[in-house]
Amino acid sequence: MVRIYVVDDELLKRLRPDVIVAQGICEVCSPYLNEIARARKALGYQPRLIMLDPHDLDGILHSIIQLARELGVEDKGKELFTELRSRIDRISARAMKASIKPRVLCIEWLKPFFTAGHWVPQMVELVNAVNCVSRRGEPSRRFSWGEVLDTDPDIIVFMPCGFTVDKALKEFYKVEENDGWFSLNAVKNKQVYVVDANAYFSRPSHRAVRGVEILAKIVHPELFQDIKIGVDEYRRVY
């Protein structure tokens, strides 16, 4: 098996961690179980391992409390949970005032095509839009170009796993090679975007809440003119 992520054993030994926090969701996104077990063995002692395994936005928020509890700062975890939950609720309440509910396709990879799963479908639903192809809480799944054409989304958000905006833009030409791309409604109506997936969509962290705000700005810009989003966070392609 190819090791995509390799822990720096020498650095880890110098750091001598008491606790290692890891994820059990995806072996492509970050060091996975086998690599973590190997790294702990290399240390020569067994630091406490905290595994987080959220599959939707609610799970991400609750993992904050879980981690805080494990580290003995549960009150701070609850404070952060409340703050993030409030931000989500405010955005969602405003988005629900929109008179239209566009269909959004979030593309996580191009060759082969993968649609973003886990927490991303819920993020789309929270901003009063219909998520295409993938389902909340389920893994990202492979799909065909034919499904893209059949879905013909109103908005396309390109969020390749682990990519920044600039890196995603460099890969974008690959999608334009597909027959029928320029006939899609999202393309014709100039509703194609790239986002910083590495910071706000690929990882199950508190920064996913900023991802909800970015999606709100994309989907219903008329309702979220006060939200400032930087060019390093999202960009319209067309």
CATH topology of domain 93-236: Rossmann fold (3.40.50)
Q: What residue segments make up the domains of the chain, in order of their start?
A: 1-53, 93-236
pLDDT digits (tens, 9 = 90+) for 58-82: 999 999 999 999 999 999 999 999 9
pLDDT of residue 1: 42
pLDDT the model gives residue 2: 44
**The pLDDT value given to residue 205:** 92
Considering 8-12, 33-37, 158-162, the range whose residues carry the highest mean pLDDT is 158-162
pLDDT at 38: 81
Q: Which of 43-47, 127-131, 134-138 has the highest mean pLDDT?
A: 127-131
Distance between CA atoms of residues 129 and 215, nearest Å:
10
pLDDT tens by residue, 69-116: 999 999 999 999 999 999 999 999 999 999 999 999 999 998 888 999
Tokens encoding 8: 């720096």
154 touches 189 (CB < 8 A): yes
How many residues does the structure list for the chain? 238
pLDDT at 193: 98
Arithmetic mean of pLDDT over the chain:
91
99 burial via Cβ count (<10 Å: 0-12, 13-18, 19+) = exposed
Per-residue pLDDT tens over the stretch 12-37: 899 999 998 887 665 555 555 677 78
pLDDT on residue 23: 77
Residue 206 — pLDDT band, cuts 50, 70, 90? very high
Mean predicted confidence (pLDDT) in 204-217: 97
Burial 163-200 (b: 16+ CB within 10 A, else e): bbbeebeeeeeebeeeeebeebebbeeebbbbbbbbbb
Q: What pLDDT shows up at residue 27?
A: 54
pTM beyond 0.85: the answer is yes
